[in-house]
Amino acid sequence: MIVYAYYGFGKTTLCENNKFSPFIEIDEEFGQADDMHVLKQLSKHSILLVNGHIGLDENDDITIDVAFLPRNVNIAVNRLQQRGVDASFLTYMIETYDDVLQAVIKKARNVVFYEENEYLIHHAYELMHGQQLLEQYNDNNNTETRYTS
């Protein structure tokens, strides 16, 4: 399974605190064209957590099973600002969020827009146990998805 999780959603924390879980965080540097085959193979047995531009290229044949994006980019910016992330990267996030959003919507089977106090750990159980996602629904152009048991 390939899970796209936007910056600041807790990929590193989830992986560091759950060493024996099926989650593997994939760094953006891994996402070169030659690595896409490796990603596909790894995703058969693990839950890959990606972000940045990994899997968003229209020319690759990677499918993102579920994507987590902040309902508002400022949610992620505030989190990373509290962690001391460089201001130039925060500016980059703000400037590219709409492009990332459009690419994710094109490439992901399911999209979940998260709120201020929501992190990847809140969805880990559902991801690990393969529970089905509800179909996306559109409410005033805000696509939203939630898990069902």
The mean pLDDT value of the chain amounts to 82
Q: What secondary structure letter does DSSP report for 30?
A: G
Candidate ranges 16-25, 30-39, 79-88; pick with highest mean pLDDT: 79-88
* pLDDT of 8 above 80: yes
Spatial separation of the C-alpha atoms in residues 70 and 74, rounded to whole Å: 8
Alpha carbon 73 to its chain centroid, in Å, reads: 13
Residue 142 scores a pLDDT above 90: no
Q: For 2-6, 16-20, 114-118, 130-134, which range has the lowest pLDDT when averaged over its residues? A: 130-134
Q: How far is CA 50 from CA 100, 141, 148, in A?
A: 13, 25, 23
User: What does the buried/exposed string (b/e) look like for 95-133 if buried means 16 or more CB atoms within 10 Å of the residue's CB?
Assistant: eebeebbebbeebbebbbbbeeebbbeebbebbeeeeeb
User: SS3 of 33, please?
Assistant: helix
The arrangement of strands across the sheet holding 23-25 comes to 23-25, 47-50, 2-5, 64-70, 108-114
pLDDT in tens, 27-71: 776 655 567 778 888 888 889 999 888 778 777 788 899 999 999
